[in-house]
Amino acid sequence: MRGMLPGKTVNAEEAGLRKGKPAAKKAAPEAEEAELLFDKTYICPVCEREFTSKTVRSGKAFPDRMDIDLRSRYKNIEPIKYRVVGCIRCHYAALDVDFSSPLKREVDAFRDSSSEIRLDANCLEEVRSFRDALLLLRAALSISLIKGSKNSERAGIALQTAWLLRSMGEQQVKTEPEETKPEEKNAVSFAEMEQKYLRYALQYFVKARQLEDFPIRGMDEGTFDYLLAALCYETGQPREAHGYVTKALRNREINRKLRRMAEDLLAELRSS
């Protein structure tokens, strides 16, 4: 017991025990989350260091419904927390799908920049808090600007950031006891920040549509137009949303599930 408690006196021990309770409660979900992760090996494309990054075991995340903007929800974990991979030697970071494949000019641009971004080893190697995940996504977005990435890569990071902020707002509503509801100020700011990142995502995706070839971020044209429609709708631009959703519905290749989502969105736009 003694070794576990920092204090020496009885009072400190009491304090330790009082503190111990919530900590023990907190440790359980963390341990549960750790069970859903594994260490995936990466080689840094900038400094060639080999390292591991926590990754969600896809078979262990239970899918739930999907949001209007194609965010997949999971019942037992928020996988977005683990989407950023970062190297603590050279402080390069990107989304998992982009990490290993920057262009040479992007690597050079990152090396030549005197970037002040510093990644925290604790954020990268263990179960991640939402806050740390948000810091990592912000770092990845800054690095994508430094290295001059494609618009679609930036859009992808901005969209993941918006989704994480949505998740944070929902977590807060769930975990906060009734009596602390006046603290809703924070929930509002999560929603406001989410809006900001949805707009970034939309802005970069629109540029990507003009400049890049399909598939973009793994999306065919129909899926992409549907996503643009959803982002316009979420950011209060119904006319633009209507334009994109109509375009998506005219696309013969659009799959059945997406067609249904597009029809629902069109109905929603017509009724509001």
User: Which spans of this chain sit near Zn ion (rule: CB under 5 A)?
Assistant: 44, 46-47, 49, 87, 89-90, 92
Pick the closer one to Zn ion by CB: 119 or 258: 119
Pick the closer one to Zn ion by CB: 49 or 250: 49
Q: How far is CA 142 from the centre of its chain?
A: 15
Pick the closer one to Zn ion by CB: 93 or 232: 93
Q: Where are the beta strands (DSSP E) in 14-115?
A: 37-43, 50-56, 63-66, 72-74, 84-86, 93-95
**What does residue 82 show for φ and ψ, rounded to 5 degrees?**
-110, 15
End-to-end CA distance of the chain: 62
- Shortest Cβ 92–Zn ion spacing (Å): 5
> Two tokens at 75?
């019942």
- Shortest Cβ 50–Zn ion spacing (Å): 10
- Shortest Cβ 117–Zn ion spacing (Å): 12
- CA–CA distance, 121 with 88 (Å, rounded to integer): 6
- Shortest Cβ 121–Zn ion spacing (Å): 12
Pick the closer one to Zn ion by CB: 120 or 240: 120
- Shortest Cβ 152–Zn ion spacing (Å): 23
Q: Where are the beta strands (DSSP E) in 44-196?
A: 50-56, 63-66, 72-74, 84-86, 93-95
Pick the closer one to Zn ion by CB: 34 or 47: 47
- CA–CA distance, 212 with 214 (Å, rounded to integer): 7
